[in-house]
Amino acid sequence: MTELLPLTQQQLTGAIRLAVGFTMAYGSHRYDRPPQTYLARLRPMTTPELYAALARAASTPSLQTQRIRNHEIAAAHATAIKIRTIGPSSLIVLIDLQQDVTTTAGRRQRTQHLAVTTVKTGQDGWAVHDIQPANAGNAGDTDASPG
């Protein structure tokens, strides 16, 4: 049955594991660590385009100020829920990100539903190319041309 898929079982497993691992790293941060430490964890898993966007977002002064003021620490856990789109060189995985966020005001849990796009970078290599809320996420390649 797997011969009907555009990716091998090994490729699917690799892409899904990367998406889950990236999402956990993406959702975890500490106020007492510089953005460069956070970004260093993400860089090997991302395309250059996504890394540039993440670097801009992580270096936002107001975000850093808020996290330091609140002593914010987020520990994340990610679970792959389903494959949204599968193609010969990309895979979009829907992932639930659960964050345990601790601040000076206490502890709370937050869940986000995300669409993580992975792209092939070689024979069996993968990189995360995009991450968005699942309800706004990339739906994949669709043929919108009339019949």
pLDDT tens-digit series, residues 75-119:
999 999 999 988 888 999 999 999 999 999 999 999 999 999 999
| Residues pairing with 94 in the sheet | 82, 115
User: How many domains does the chain contain in total?
Assistant: 1
Q: Is residue 141 part of a domain?
A: no
Q: Is residue 138 part of a domain?
A: no
Is the pLDDT confidence value at 73 over 90? yes
pTM value? 0.87
Q: How far apart are CA 92 and CA 16, in angstroms?
A: 9
Per-residue pLDDT, 139: 58
Q: Is residue 89 part of a domain?
A: yes
CATH number of the structural domain spanning residue 52: 3.10.450.230
Based on its alpha-carbon atoms, the radius of gyration of the chain, rounded to whole angstroms, reads: 17
Q: Is residue 32 part of a domain?
A: yes
Q: Is residue 30 part of a domain?
A: yes
Instruction: Find the mean pLDDT for residues 13-33.
Output: 96
